[in-house]
Amino acid sequence: MIHNKLIGQPLQQILAITRRHWDRPEVRPPVREAFVKILNCRTPALGAEVYASDTEEKSFCHTCKSAFCPGCGHRATQLWQRQQWAALPDMPYAGIVLTMPHFLWPIFQQNRHLLHDLPAVGAAAIQALAKAKCGVRVLVMVVQHTFGRQLNFHPHLHVLVSAGGMQESEGRWIAHLHFDKRELMEMWRFAVIAYLWRALRAKIFTFSMGSDKLTVMLKAQYKRSWNIHIDHFKSKRQFLRYAGRYIRRPPIDQNRFVKVTDEEVLFRTKDLKQKRVVITRYSTEHFIDLLADHVRERYQHAMRYFGLLAPGSKRKTSEAMFVALGQKRRSPPKRLGWRISLLRDFERDPLVDSQGQRMRWARRVKSLAR
């Protein structure tokens, strides 16, 4: 059977087709929880709010609020962008992508607890370089990714860094901070390999090749050059648009799906070697297995904040930073309700019936989800 991708969400269709495959005790609990939420999102299973006018009645099913859900993730991203636009100062920023050789990917795939420390390792490397070069503290925001274009497991970091820093000893702001690509690569490479060596000695992770061969492999990877990318953004808005494509959403956009059947999934993929868009074909179960790898563990955040943005020091440093920059802090934006969001994005008021009358809340329908 071919499932029309215009009817409902393709991801929901795939999850429904493969439920017997992923809804099993041996599957990681965070994966099962996320998939069940997405499957029930905007369906009567999660309950609904009923609104009515004098002549009509509408039911609005509850959303799942999962960060892995395409719809809920999109809304959460918009709210996050509004909050960060108000919180961040106006200045140039650098966007840094920290990658690692593919030989190291299986280590993090087989030992998912190590992923929790990876953003801190990357942020520490960047802060150490900024401190050594200019004696400053910088704003650091890390977005962690585990996926490649074909949904393969590819751990890497997208990092927002201020193109300037606070010299706390003198209380002044140093602008035009430059990151040398070679120096940053060496710092990042050293930080990752040192972290894995310490973890190996402490026996907090295991790997299929054994500790002796793993030590040899780590030494070999330390000697090679790693790929990193540095982009420069003139404004925070430019970076927030860029980061918004990667956070709080599944690793594949809904519009990339070409066809979904009971046996296979077809979606569009950018082939960098051929420099064109190609069609990738997976069986439905293989697609779900790949997707499950990218569901984060419980209590792991999509974004992590360090340096001048670290939660423990932000209250102390934020005011001084804005004073040094000669800027005024913005008030946090009010959270947009779902009705206001629909009015803004789609120019449609959901609480107006076909006759133009305003609808009022009438009752709540309880959740049926298990």
Q: Which two tokens stand for residue 155?
A: 């751990």
Mean pLDDT of the chain: 88
Domain assignment present for residue 3? The answer is: no
Q: 114 and 157 share a domain?
A: yes
Confidence of residue 304 (pLDDT cuts 50, 70, 90): very high
Domain assignment present for residue 105? The answer is: yes
Domain assignment present for residue 279? The answer is: no
Q: 119 and 53 share a domain?
A: no
| Residue 307: HSE in the Cβ half-sphere, 13 Å Cα cutoff | 31
Domain assignment present for residue 370? The answer is: no
Looking at residue 260, its pLDDT comes to 93
The tally of domains found in the chain comes to 2
Strands 57-61 and 2-3: unpaired
**Euclidean distance between CA atoms 162 and 267, whole angstroms:** 36
Q: 117 and 141 share a domain?
A: yes
Q: Is the pTM of this model over 0.75?
A: yes
Looking at residue 8, its pLDDT comes to 57
Q: 101 and 142 share a domain?
A: yes
User: For residue 269, which amino acid is it?
Assistant: T
Task: Find out whether 98 and 231 touch, Cβ atoms under 8 Å.
Answer: no
Looking at residue 348, its pLDDT comes to 82
What domain range includes position 16?
Answer: 8-66+335-365
Looking at residue 7, its pLDDT comes to 43
Residue 105 has pLDDT above 70, yes or no: yes
Q: Which two tokens stand for residue 124?
A: 């520490």
Q: 112 and 188 share a domain?
A: yes
Q: 231 and 139 share a domain?
A: yes
Task: Find out whether 135 and 109 touch, Cβ atoms under 8 Å.
Answer: no
Confidence of residue 3 (pLDDT cuts 50, 70, 90): very low
Beta carbons within 8 Å of 118's beta carbon, 6+ residues apart: 108, 144, 155, 157, 192
Domain assignment present for residue 277? The answer is: no
Q: 59 and 132 share a domain?
A: no
Residue 85 has pLDDT above 70, yes or no: yes
> Mean per-residue pLDDT for 270-288?
91
> Mean per-residue pLDDT for 288-309?
90
**Largest interatomic CA distance in the chain:** 76
Confidence of residue 370 (pLDDT cuts 50, 70, 90): low
- pLDDT per residue as tens digits for the range 346-362: 778 889 988 889 999 99
- pLDDT per residue as tens digits for the range 40-73: 998 899 999 999 999 899 999 999 888 888 888 8
Q: 198 and 81 share a domain?
A: yes
- Residues 193, 195, 199, 201: what is their CA dihedral angle, to the nearest 10 degrees? 60
Looking at residue 369, its pLDDT comes to 62
Q: 233 and 311 share a domain?
A: yes
Could you tell me which residues are beta bridge partners of residue 58? 51
φ/ψ region of 307 (left if φ > 0, alpha if ψ in -120 to 50, else beta) reads left
- pLDDT per residue as tens digits for the range 108-150: 999 999 999 999 999 999 999 999 988 899 999 999 999 888 8
Domain assignment present for residue 194? The answer is: yes
Q: 97 and 243 share a domain?
A: yes
Q: How many CB atoms lie within 10 A of CB 107?
A: 22
Find tokens 């920059």 and name the residue: 325
Domain assignment present for residue 310? The answer is: yes
Residue 4 has pLDDT above 80, yes or no: no
Could you tell me which residues are beta bridge partners of residue 233? 93
